[in-house]
Structure 1
Amino acid sequence: MFDDVRVLGNKMKDVVAMLRRTVSVATVSQVDSELRRVKVTFAGGRIPESDWLSVVGSRTKGVNASWNMAVGEQVLCLFPPIGSMVRGYVLGSLVNVNARPYTTNPDKFGIQFEDGTLLEYDQATQTGVLKIKGGTPSIQVGPDKVSIVSDVDIEGAVTISKTLDVTGNTNIGGNLSVTGTVSGQQTATFMGTVGAAGYGGPVSGGVAKMQNGMEVSGNAEINGIATINGIPVSVDTHTHLDAENRPTGPAVSVRSASLLSRLLRYLRR
């Protein structure tokens, strides 16, 4: 009878041991990234390495969330129904002194990768951040604006409905079409041909300087004084008194003024 009790007691110990292993803390020893499964070892070394254990994920069909565990990661395992190591599951990883959360801010939800890359949202500031390797390039999206610290290549069309402020240089390799007003406070330099179609608004502002000549195919209207080779020529239709207090005639044309200036230079020889 005592022998039977002793045998029953040993069996109960085995059952209790298996029940204790139903939920166990283990360490990842091997990773199968294709089937998202791992093998684990247990503290103490009494139990050998487990068989392949499936890692519980959030989604696997339709919307597929993909990530893999790393060797040395501490995990929580489930071995149903009575702690047999033949079949089991990894429920998730555990935070410990060697693997702490990257932030302690309760308002932040994010993912930090091994190389420092950060994808994060702060619900307190309503700001989302993507930082490559923890620095730049970076994108910050807030409730009022988006900040990008990086070179940007855009292959599609871009529509801007409000003001575009550019503090650096602008290079345009194609055509530039402007349907509104063009205004500026600095010098405009053109290396090629500059043409005006004649429809739309007038060209106004400061002095326009052209070093390679100007050709006008249509009419030119001048409401001031034209200076040709250093000689000012008025094209206003007015009269005034000359040096002998005699009224002058109407202003001469640009062509007449040119001929007159040539005649005066000839007589001075």
Structure 2
Amino acid sequence: MQELIRVGHISSIAPDKAAARVTFADKSEVVTLELPIIVRGSLAAKDYWMPEPNEPVLCLFLPNGSAQGFILGSFYSKNNPPPVVDETKRYISFPDGTSIEYDMATSTMNIVAVGEINIVATGNVNVIGDVIADGISLKHHIHTDVTTGSGNTGEPDGGA
């Protein structure tokens, strides 16, 4: 059983194959063949991620030898603790500082984006609730230099 389940570190990755090579310190840094990485979905609903070089991973090997195995995933440790310690939160962070956090206790999603956010929809984008951009409320902002009365405003100016 000791040879079937092993802890190692990513040596190199093969993103086009969703696979990686792993080294084992207790085996004189021997490097495996490319091992497939277990994902949460690979048919209609797909999930994709790649571990980083030197990331610790847990591997499972078939009993017929170490050539056939899988990378089950990565894990936290004393030297690399989890970024969030709350059982009601789901959290993903990226090296550039972008993060996505969902709090099931408050039904709140927080997205911190370092770059742009693009939403591509072939239909409508519906928002229930106010939209606040740069501190200005879409529902409750006030226009100046407008004559009061029962008239409607014109169409937007079409600028970018």
The Cα shift of 1:21 comes to 1.1
Equivalent position to 1:65, from 40, 47, 50 = 47
Between structure 1 and structure 2, the one with the greater Rg is: 1
Identity %: 26
Secondary structure, aligned partner of 1:34: helix
The Cα shift of 1:116 comes to 1.5
| CA gap 1:146/1:105 in 2 versus in 1, 3 angstroms | farther
CA distance in 1, matches of 2:143, 2:76: 47
**Counterpart check, 1:30 vs 2:5:** no
**Counterpart check, 1:164 vs 2:142:** no
Residue 157 of structure 2 aligns with which residue? none
Equivalent position to 1:115, from 73, 79, 96 = 96
Structure 2 residue identity aligned to 1:165: H
| Gap runs ≥5 in structure 1 | 1-18, 138-143, 151-162, 171-179, 184-269
Secondary structure, aligned partner of 1:111: strand
CA distance in 1, matches of 2:95, 2:27: 29
Higher share of residues assigned strand: 2
Residues 57 and 65, structure 1, Cα contact 8 Å, conserved in 2: yes
Q: What TM-score do you get using the length of structure 1 for normalisation?
A: 0.45
- Which runs of structure 2 are paired with 1:120-135 in the superposition (5 Å)? 120-133=101-114
**Counterpart check, 1:39 vs 2:5:** no
Residue 84 of structure 2 aligns with which residue? 103
Does 1 or 2 have the higher relative contact order (CA < 8 Å, sep 6+)? 2
**CA-atom RMSD, angstroms?**
3.0
Residues 131 and 139, structure 2, Cα contact 8 Å, conserved in 1: no
Residues 76 and 92, structure 1, Cα contact 8 Å, conserved in 2: yes
Count of equivalent residues? 137
Residue 73 of structure 2 aligns with which residue? 92
Residues 109 and 121, structure 1, Cα contact 8 Å, conserved in 2: yes
Higher share of residues assigned helix: 1
